[in-house]
Amino acid sequence: MKKLLTGDFLGDFDEAALDQFILRDQFRRLKARVENTILHKNDNNDIVVRGDDAFKLEYPLNEESVVRFSSYINTLTDMYLEDCQVYFAMIPDKNYYVQSSSDFLSMDYQKLEALLHDSIKGMTLIDLKDALSLTDYYHTDPHWKQENLDGVLERLRQEMELETDFSSIATTVKRFAPFYGAYYGQSALNLAPDTIEYRVTKASLNAIVKNVEYTGDPDQAPGVYDEQKLGQLDSYDVFLSGSTPLVTIENPDSKTDKELIIFRDSFASSLAPLLIEEYQKITLIDLRYVSRELIGDFVDFEGSDVFFLYSTLIINHSDILK
């Protein structure tokens, strides 16, 4: 009991779990239950579970990171985007929607927004906060649900003057379960899994995807939905095959020659297959994996719409950008 109260017991459990891999998951689950129910810790591995939802602690606001992020994209805009129509939107992490009622610490979102508004230059700022709610995020994962992005699409249609009525497009919904999100494993608790839904349209079926990291047969290249990823380590990678420095989506059926370039994190992977209805080509650039100094060698920005779409999780940790 003394070891339990001092925390030595939990350290011993970690060591034992690593030494006896077969029982590792059981040990981790027991450790999480001890910390939650006996030691009354609010979190386990920085994961807080409330009801059906798991949240990752994101506190405090890193003001230096926000300023660095703004300076980073301002410099990028000066380098490449002088003649482009440029938009920016922040995706709130799911903690934003429980900040007033939760019993765990959240960052100062108002200050975060104020810092961005004061420092980002030369682009249209799009507010997505009221286009989303907690139910638009997976229970066990930080990402938003593609099937719940109607409000986001409508906000983008208004702010970016898009011509597509996304709600009128014929769609087949496909589903995969169980989906164990990133927070499921980190919590080490037996949470109820999610279901992934994704929208298949004529444009998404015919879209041609070119991923800079794909080295296989071009005729066998995955489309916007890489179903081979379902049931693997992270089933969210069904959207555009997961993280990659550079990927393009071409819509051969497009009636326009419009192009969109998205500077993004993983949230955009599930949004881009819906936006292809509006564009002939979408280019997604992930600056966590490629330097901004190099992208001018691979991407022609002239005449394109440009969209910076980043979650608060990246803005608060902007040193991850190259």
Q: Do residues 282 and 235 lie in contact, with contact meaning Cβ atoms separated by under 8 Å? A: no
* pLDDT > 70? residue 316: yes
* pLDDT > 50? residue 5: no
Residue 2: per-residue pLDDT = 47
Q: Which tens digit of pLDDT belongs to each residue from 237-290?
A: 999 999 999 999 999 999 999 999 999 999 999 999 999 999 999 999 999 999
**Model confidence at 3, in pLDDT bands (50, 70, 90)?**
very low
* Averaged pLDDT score across all residues of the chain: 91
Mean pLDDT of the region 143-157: 98
The pLDDT > 70 percentage for the chain reads 87
Residue 50's beta-bridge partner residues? 53
**Model confidence at 27, in pLDDT bands (50, 70, 90)?**
low
Residue 190: per-residue pLDDT = 87
- Of 199, 127, 159, 116, the C-alpha closest to 305 is 159
* pLDDT > 60? residue 122: yes
Would you say the pTM of this structure is higher than 0.85? yes
**Model confidence at 21, in pLDDT bands (50, 70, 90)?**
low
- Of 218, 274, 285, 220, the C-alpha closest to 251 is 274
- Of 81, 89, 125, 64, the C-alpha closest to 296 is 81
Half-sphere exposure of 100 (CA within 13 A, CB side): 3
Q: Could you give the CA distance from residue 27 to residue 17 in angstroms, rounded to a whole number?
A: 6
Q: Which tens digit of pLDDT belongs to each residue from 62-92?
A: 999 999 999 999 999 999 999 899 999 999 9
* pLDDT > 50? residue 10: no
Q: Which tens digit of pLDDT belongs to each residue from 36-61?
A: 666 556 777 789 999 999 999 999 99
- Stronger pLDDT, 190 or 93, i.e. the higher one: 93
- Of 48, 146, 65, the C-alpha closest to 108 is 65
Which tokens is 74 given?
A: 């301002």
Q: Do residues 93 and 46 lie in contact, with contact meaning Cβ atoms separated by under 8 Å? A: no
Residue 189: per-residue pLDDT = 84
Hey, how many other C-beta atoms are within 10 angstroms of the C-beta on 83?
9
